[in-house]
Structure 1
Amino acid sequence: MTSSSDTSQAPAMVRQRGSFRRVIGASVAGTTLEWYDHFIYGSAAALVFPALFFPAGNPVAATLLSLATYSVAFVTRPLGAVIFGHFGDKRGRKAVLVATLVIMGAATTLIGVVPTYGQVGIWAPVLLVVLRFVQGIGLGGEWGGAALMVGESSKDGRRGFFGALVQIASPVGLLIANGVFSLVTFLVSDEAFFAWGWRVPFLASGILVLIGLWIRVQVHESPVFEEAGGRHEQSRAPLLVVVTEHWRTVAIAVGSRIGSDVTFYVFNVFVLVYGTTQLGASRQLLLNAVLLGAAAQALAIPVWGHLADRIGRRPVLAIGAIGSAAWVFAFFSFLHSGSTILMLLAPVVGNVLIAAMWGPLAAYVPELFPTRVRYTGAGLGFQLAGVFGGALAPIITAFFIAQFGSWIPVAVYLAALLALMVGCVLAARETAHVDLRTVGEAG
């Protein structure tokens, strides 16, 4: 027989489950849009911007300048993490998530209407850089809020799995961005693509942002943050507290994440350059391999996230790092084999290993910091790794290839960074089974 207390509790439990599903949906959908915006800029920087936004006559210089504008966002992400981390720790996670989505979406949509070099001269690349700067600010503040909303709303013991759903946004955003560009390229002529077709993916972001906003405004504030607010635990100056009291933790977070960035670049971006210029491989074959790898990563991320709840964050991160350090040598051997199957398989296996380093991060990095500075600390640690990893990797790998003409220095460089990552992971404490309200308070 059902008691009256059980009957009264049932609707509350249903409301809680519904609220948590909205948090998951809002975080994943919004972060996917942010990564979509980021990746369509990267595609345009390689395919379109050199011809339309820089002076004609030196295509190599135009390409390098275009890719340099792509790197601007890596440098500005930590600034976004600091700005929005401050307000996220002071005012709450939800409001900041709405703000970052608006900022990122507005910047991306405006890129779709920027006039070309032939129309306004030098102001064309200047406007691109300014909007790319704004994109970096928005993306820098986005990740921390999405990860915290999910983690601070999850039950203990499932934070790794649900946090991994936030991490799926990156490969899914990559797949959608590449898919939209491929669709537009297929539907219009080359002339139409360069005239107006390239603008479609950017303008479409505005529509997607409106959908994302509709989802996000319906979620409630993080319960862990609200509880901390009730105890008056917000810090007056979160950044000051982080850099004076938790700088070692920030360093561990940077070192624990840097490996996934560089490994992603080598297995998914560098492979396109190396495969076409050094091996003479088909660009379409390599693009297909990268897309298969992204799909494999998206499927593997929640699996690794679930495993991080079972055996801990540190073992899963270490498995990914050690496995990637070993696989990078097989990776290039597969590329040199000339076998279509092996060339397709190389990024797939690599991305499954990347998923082990990427999937647990949305739980692992925030768990290193106390609630009162968690947004600032997690965002800063996560985004600084992008500067030292993602922003520098293209420059370092290009130098190695130009200097040595071999993939071996690239593999050694990656293996060394992954060894550093393992050391940082081992230096961190395991937090998989700790109450998030008490995590990091002694740090």
Structure 2
Amino acid sequence: MTDPTVPAAHDNNAVSTGTIWKVITASSVGTVIEWYDFYIFGSLAAIIGPVLFGSQGKPEETLLGALAVFGVGFIVRPFGAVVFGRIGDMIGRKYTFLVTLLMMGGATVATGLVPSYDKIGWVAPAIVLVLRLFQGLALGGEYGGAATYVAEYAPDHQRGYFTSFIQITATAGLVLSILVIVLTKKAMPEADFKTWGWRIPFLLSGVLIIASYYIRQQLHESPLFQKAKAEGKTSTSPLRDSFLNPVNRRLVLIALFGATMGQGVVFYTSQFYAYSFMQNALKLDLIDASIVLVVSMVLATPLFVYFGALSDRIGRKRIIMTGLLCAALFTVPLFYGIRAYAGPLTEVAPATVNAAGQAVAAVQQALSPNLPMMTLLTFCLVLFVTMVYGPIAAYLVELFPTKVRYTSLSVPYHIGNGIFGGFVPLVATWITVWANTQPAGTLFKEHAMLAGLIYPVIIAALCWMIGSALMKDLRNVRIMD
């Protein structure tokens, strides 16, 4: 069945604006919910850790355990990209949309029902591990479908602008997860939230998934995929055509090491690791950390669209590379600034002598966090995300032909985001813990709190060098074939 709103010639430049916005809305709502589902776990890692690994465990060990389980979902995202990319290129974008949505939602609701380690032992983390595998597989098929679907409706000269709205969904999902967690936490005593209240955001996902499924069910198939299918141009083996064809394989590798690898570490460092850093390293209250991150992301959100639209005029590569370079140069100084303005810190007043000539001992004074300055610095971190992430969907879509676009786009994106980016919290936290064990006076010991940033900064710098050398500055190209 064809979409009556799409012209018979299947020219996406002639698709009505109303149709495009309907497609964007339906795609974005579902993608926001899937990111919400994915981020709940990571946002609650410090609380979920003792639930999964025992209430008597050391906090740093249970946190690392929870982050490791969280990371499993990232490992399988590339496999989800392969599985669902193949389905999307052979059967259609819409069908794949619906399957990934239900998989993600079901796994999230089930996570909220898993008993604790204290009740069922190692079965608890084992069950959650399996559920995270399902979530990772589902998300591996989600982003590529959403980006491809919107891009195949968008006019060639506005592809960066329209696909940038899909780029907002990951940030929106994180903001939504934080807001739901904060509201739930505020509605009950702290002890109740740690005991059972943390499950509410997971269970709430069931309602959101049902609403999103209904919205997506109303969509028609992408016009370019309809055209390719009608002309018999769809691929019978998307995996072979994507990875064994030397020309396409080279493009996949350039997309991974020249764009998505760096984009992944910038995204998770500037948003997710910053949130974890404020709570676990700086001991900032969850509410204060949430205010800093949410306000900075809300303020930065319009910039996803701005840089997406700008890429339609000046090209994708220039903006993406500038964002990567800024992240490589300024991430560490910005984190040092966040630490400087955060509490609890102590300031030691110098010893003085009173009127009687007696020495008065130095006094320690607690410093309250300067939330406005922390928000400003975090906003700068998120600014780099918007520069790299805003144009990248359009760049990836324009890189590959219609018959293998879903697969070819999804695999490098989810390796870059899932493997390189998704492990930022775990790898950075592990490096920090290791640095704290080094002898006093060594460089790592002195800078242990921020030692974990070595990983994302090096990856961002490598990606900038590779992308600057090998990426072509595509924009506004025809993607009919």
TM-score by length of 2: 0.83
The Cα shift of 1:379 comes to 0.6
The Cα shift of 1:411 comes to 5.2
Q: Does 1:362 align with 2:404?
A: no
Amino acid at match of 2:51: L
Secondary structure in 1 matching 2:474: coil
Matched positions, count: 425
Q: Matched residues in 2 for 1:45 and 1:333: separation?
A: 24
Cα separation, partners in 2 of 1:118 and 1:352, compared to 1, 3 Å: same
Amino acid at match of 2:254: I
Q: Does 1:247 align with 2:219?
A: no
Cα RMSD between the aligned structures? 2.3
Do the aligned partners of 1:156 and 1:433 also contact (CA within 8 Å) in 2?
A: yes
- Residue 302 of structure 1 corresponds to which residue in structure 2? 305
The Cα shift of 1:369 comes to 1.1
Cα separation, partners in 2 of 1:57 and 1:358, compared to 1, 3 Å: same
For 1:117-196, what aligned pairs fall within 5 Å after superposition? 117-196=117-196
Cα separation, partners in 2 of 1:279 and 1:316, compared to 1, 3 Å: same
Match of 1:349 among 344, 356, 380: 380
Cα separation, partners in 2 of 1:225 and 1:56, compared to 1, 3 Å: same
Q: Does 1:421 align with 2:463?
A: yes
- Residue 291 of structure 2 corresponds to which residue in structure 1? 288
Do the aligned partners of 2:32 and 2:173 also contact (CA within 8 Å) in 1?
A: yes
Q: Matched residues in 2 for 1:318 and 1:122: separation?
A: 45
Cα separation, partners in 2 of 1:369 and 1:333, compared to 1, 3 Å: same
Give 1 or 2: higher helix fraction. 1
Secondary structure in 2 matching 1:429: coil
Any gaps of 5 or more consecutive residues in structure 1?
1-12, 439-443
Do the aligned partners of 2:14 and 2:155 also contact (CA within 8 Å) in 1?
A: no
Secondary structure in 2 matching 1:420: helix
Do the aligned partners of 1:296 and 1:351 also contact (CA within 8 Å) in 2?
A: no
For 1:7-406, what aligned pairs fall within 5 Å after superposition? 16-47=16-47, 49-60=48-59, 61-245=61-245, 246-255=248-257, 256-272=259-275, 274-275=277-278, 284-338=287-341, 340=370, 341-401=372-432, 402-403=434-435, 404-405=444-445, 406=447
Do the aligned partners of 1:89 and 1:374 also contact (CA within 8 Å) in 2?
A: yes
Cα separation, partners in 2 of 1:277 and 1:29, compared to 1, 3 Å: closer
Amino acid at match of 1:153: Y
Do the aligned partners of 2:268 and 2:422 also contact (CA within 8 Å) in 1?
A: no
Q: Matched residues in 2 for 1:29 and 1:206: separation?
A: 14
CA deviation profile, 1:299-331 (whole Å, cap 9, x unmatched): 211111111111111111012112222322431
CA deviation profile, 1:70-111 (whole Å, cap 9, x unmatched): 001100101111110011000110110011111111111111
Q: Would you identify which runs of 4 or more consecutive aligned residues in structure 1 move more than 6 Å?
A: none
Cα separation, partners in 2 of 1:279 and 1:360, compared to 1, 3 Å: same
Secondary structure in 2 matching 1:432: coil
Cα separation, partners in 2 of 1:335 and 1:357, compared to 1, 3 Å: same
Q: Matched residues in 1 for 2:132 and 2:380: separation?
A: 32
Identity level (%): 32
The Cα shift of 1:226 comes to 1.0
Q: Matched residues in 2 for 1:76 and 1:372: separation?
A: 24
Secondary structure in 2 matching 1:365: helix
Amino acid at match of 2:423: L
The Cα shift of 1:342 comes to 3.1
Amino acid at match of 1:233: K
Amino acid at match of 1:434: V
Secondary structure in 2 matching 1:127: helix
- Of structures 1 and 2, the larger Rg is shown by 2
Cα separation, partners in 2 of 1:230 and 1:125, compared to 1, 3 Å: same
The Cα shift of 1:275 comes to 4.8
The Cα shift of 1:420 comes to 2.4
The Cα shift of 1:64 comes to 2.0
Q: Matched residues in 1 for 2:279 and 2:164: separation?
A: 33
Do the aligned partners of 1:90 and 1:236 also contact (CA within 8 Å) in 2?
A: yes
Do the aligned partners of 2:50 and 2:57 also contact (CA within 8 Å) in 1?
A: no
Any gaps of 5 or more consecutive residues in structure 2?
1-12, 343-369, 436-443
